[in-house]
Structure 1
């Protein structure tokens, strides 16, 4: 006989536990674990950064030197690492001028922490952000086709 308890049926008051039979799968802690790959964390963090206003992509670099330019519509560069229940994220991005850089960076950091936790359950305590470039509004309109 299985003595594990489940949620009360709809309309119940929740005062009495209801036995659950789920084939003896055991407690949640003993059923296994879910691992989040670094690449998945990078994609989630990249998406979170793009959800913040006044942020653009960072130019790729080779040996520390920028190759090209960051673009307002481009994706930021993100690297991430999962260490147990912690997420370590590093973002390289551009900010649209004349936005207050400190405020934009704060907004990005908090949004990345929130979204990573909501979607993965990981605690993103360390979110390092490099602002590689300021994008002038006039540059957003100039595009060579």
Structure 2
């Protein structure tokens, strides 16, 4: 089973969340509540380039062209919990020990509600990491948007 960790910081301090059994981004999209997050595509860092994947989909390149990010969006879990979902592919010719994403949830004034890093397991060449990062606080109606603030290979 894939295990990922997310360290979130908010007004209440730090929270460590574990996620297992990742769901695909397509399974998590919903219309969402009338007052709350604006679901859909979210801001990502400026890419170093782009590529067309073997399925014809365009993806943004990061970490000197070693990883491709596609489908990053704010979605709603079947439980109603907002989550950042997406996919990242190792497009390099060698294994990557870990990719880390800096995920941030923001209110309508652009203030940080929660944020932290989520990391992958080792990614083989061509392997896709489907990530799901749940909003850790109990005030999801305060979320206006989310963003991927950083991507790094370690």
TM over 0.5: no
Identify, as 1 or 2, the structure richer in helix: 1
User: What is the TM-score with the length of structure 1 in the denominator?
Assistant: 0.32
User: What is the TM-score with the length of structure 2 in the denominator?
Assistant: 0.31
The one of the two structures with greater contact order (alpha-carbon pairs below 8 A, sep at least 6) is 2
Identify, as 1 or 2, the structure richer in strand: 2
Larger Rg: 1
